Amino acid sequence: MLHKEIPCYILAGGKSRRFGEDKLLYKINGKSVIERVAETAKGVFKDVYIVAKDGEKFSFLNLPVIKDIKKEQASIIGLYTALVHSKGEECFILSGDLPLISEETIRFILKNYNPPITLAKTEDKIHTLIGIYSKEVLNKLEEFVKEKNFKIYEFIKNFNYKAVELPAELRKTVINLNKKDELEEVIMHLK
């Protein structure tokens, strides 16, 4: 069953400096990384959007592309754009570089949602770009953006956020692709 109340926004505005080429368009077993993320999101949500600086390059996904509101290059700008655009009270945020993301992981976070922010957590990390943000954080987010404070970790500290510990079998699904030497691990998990 598709989730109708909460829209999903896939953030696709990064520069892929560490990867050496556009990691979102990088094909693994014939499918681009962002295509994998979009397909998974479409299995859970009725409304799925791409947030990007350059919408043209993602037209092959046949999803609406929301252009970043600000020109600065930072994930927090994508988050801000999503929250401003969203018609609902919350939005689910997904980074575009999660080739292993699964419907089970997304549904697990949805099931454990506690406003205003609920994020995925693994042993050593809170994943600020995998989770649900409520519109009630928008005013504070606007302040951060105006002050050019682009650190999402600093931003979430202003709220009583919930970090949902993923079960062991789901932890691999939140591996994000930053460097080419991480490809081997991703490909291993796809088998």
pLDDT tens digit string along 98-141? 999 999 999 999 999 999 999 999 998 999 999 999 999 999 99
Q: Is the model's pLDDT at 18 over the cut of 60?
A: no
E strand spans, the chain: 8-11, 27-28, 31-32, 48-52, 65-67, 90-95, 117-122, 125-134, 162-165
- Neighbouring CB atoms inside 10 A of 111's CB total 9
Task: Give the model confidence (pLDDT) of 27-71 as tens digits.
Answer: 888 899 999 999 999 999 999 999 998 778 899 999 999 998 887
pTM of the model: 0.92
pLDDT for the residue numbered 180:
62
User: CA 169 to CA 171: how far, in whole Å?
Assistant: 6
Of residues 89, 114, 117, 92, the one with CA closest to residue 103 = 92
Mean pLDDT of the chain: 89
Partners of 95 in the β-ladder: 11
Tokens 């699904």 label which residue?
173
Give the pLDDT mean for 169-180: 83
Question: CATH homologous superfamily for 8-190?
Answer: Spore Coat Polysaccharide Biosynthesis Protein SpsA; Chain A (3.90.550.10)
